[in-house]
Homo-oligomer: A and B are copies of this chain.
Amino acid sequence: MQVDYTSAEIASLVGALRTSGTTTRKIQDIASLSSARAGDLSFLGNVKYKSQVPESAATVLLLPADYAGEPKPDQVYLFVENPSVALARLCARIEQSLWPKPPPGIHPSAVIAASAKINPTAHIGPLCVVEAGAQIGAGSVLQASVFLGSEARIGDGCWIMPGCVIGSLCSLANRVRLQPGVVIGSDGFGYEFIKGRHEKVPQIGTVVIGDDVEIGANSALDRARFSRTVVGEGTKIDNLVQIAHNVVIGKHCIVCGLVAIAGSATLEDYVIIGGQAGVGGHITLGKGSKVGGQTGINYTLEPGSYVIGTPAVSYMLERRLQVLHQRLPDLFKRVAVLEKK
């Protein structure tokens, strides 16, 4: 990072409630409490690290309003409502200066079909391909080497990173952010076994992505067999995730890295799925349910469930089963003792 802020500038950017201490140093980097050095900004994001604050060498610290303590010489405490949110606000400002939105226009190396409808405020970077009938909304950015298939639609304010492929007829709403290498609209994995061969079932549906969805690097979302594979508004999907055909994901869900969701599964709103978990086909995860990392779940979950393990059971039961499982050597011995009586 190449930042250069005075402590007063930072106090203003984060909306500090109160300031304590003074420094003439400028802030040039951000670091954790324990690794920060002079010239760094740090923050208390989690009370369990409270004891590290007095020892931190950071020049500026973002602290909760009720933190009791005073800065060292040449150090500034900025008291804020929520240090994590304050930091995010500062980082958003830094992000804008690091990566300002590229100007409108189409790079001459991009290959654009005559019938594509591209808003004049959109940015189409080098070596993108936009096929016939595709649409791109106001202020959207296709960074470089992005493929947009025929009749696909991208709304306003989207940011599509290099190497993404958005298949024909698929659609992204507004402010969707795709990390590099995301594939939207690959064929669903469907075959009929006929006379010793797996005959392809054509996959003629689409993928529909809602507002404010973010999808991680190299994730793949298959188009529906027919009708639509859906990702609801505000849902965030991590890297290397597989979303099979006809999956319907609700609003504001979290899907962590390397999760696989099989065909026609439904996630209701606010579902959270831990990394490397697998969700079976044709089941529903009820609203707000949570699935632990590496869990294998193949039955429908009631809203608010919290399951873990393969096969998945309730979090509390699994914790108990794990303890007992590790006591099996003892149990076998106890039974042997009883048998000798």
**Chain A positions near chain B (C-beta within 8 angstroms):** 1, 29-32, 35, 84-85, 87-88, 91-92, 94-95, 98-99, 107, 109, 111, 125-127, 129, 143-145, 147, 150, 161-163, 165, 167-169, 177, 179-181, 183, 186-187, 189, 191-192, 194, 196-206, 212, 214, 216-220, 222, 225-227, 234, 236, 238-240, 242, 244, 252, 254, 256-258, 260, 262, 275-276, 278, 280, 293-294, 296, 298, 309-311, 313, 317, 320-322, 324-329, 331-332, 334-335, 338-339
The contact sample of 15 A-B pairs, CB cut-off 8 A, is A29-B227, A35-B227, A91-B225, A99-B168, A143-B147, A147-B162, A163-B183, A183-B239, A189-B216, A198-B252, A240-B258, A244-B257, A317-B326, A320-B329, A325-B328
Complex CA distance for A98 and B242, rounded to whole angstroms: 25
How many copies altogether?
A: 3
Q: Which residues of B contact A219 (CB under 8 A)?
A: 218
Contact partner of A162 (CB less than 8 A), chosen from B129, B201, B280, is B129
Cross-interface CB contact of A111 among B126, B200, B317, cutoff 8 Å = B126
Q: Nearest Cβ in chain B — how far from A2, in angstroms?
A: 9
Inter-chain contacts of A179 with B (CB < 8 A): 183, 186-187, 220
Asked if B202 and A94 make an inter-chain contact with CB atoms under 8 angstroms apart, the answer reads yes
The reply to whether B98 and A186 contact each other, CB–CB distance below 8 Å, is no
Find chain B residues with CB under 8 A from A165 CB: 161-163, 180-181
- Residue of B150, B242, B331 near A335 (CB, 8 A) is B331
The chain B residue sitting closest to A43, CB to CB, is B226
In the assembly, what is the distance between CA of A180 and CA of B152, in Å?
Answer: 16
Docked pose: A328 CA to B34 CA in angstroms: 44
When chains A and B are docked, how far (Å) is the Cα of A298 from the Cα of B293?
Answer: 10
Q: Residue of B at shortest CB range from A125?
A: B129
Q: How far is the CA of A294 from the CA of B217 in the complex (A)?
A: 22
A129 and B144 contacting across the interface, CB-CB below 8 Å: yes
In the bound complex, residues from chain B placing their C-beta under 8 Å from that of A196 are 252
Whether the pair B220, A239 counts as a contact (CB closer than 8 A) is: yes
| Contact yes or no, A186 B217, CB < 8 A | yes
Known pairs A205-B1, A325-B325, A329-B324; A163 contacts B186 (CB<8 A): no
> Which residues of B have CB within 8 Å of A212?
197
Q: For the complex, give the distance between the alpha carbons of A76 and B84 in Å.
A: 60
Docked Cα-Cα span, A161 to B147, in Å, equals 10
- Among A163, A225, A262, max chain B CB count under 10 A is at A163
Given known pairs A111-B126, A165-B163, A338-B335, the reply for A189 and B256 (CB within 8 Å) is: yes
CA A199 – CA B92 in complex, angstroms? 11
Q: Return the contact of A181 from the options B183, B227, B328 (Cβ within 8 A).
A: B183
A190 to chain B, nearest CB (A): 9
Contact B95 A189 (CB under 8 A): no
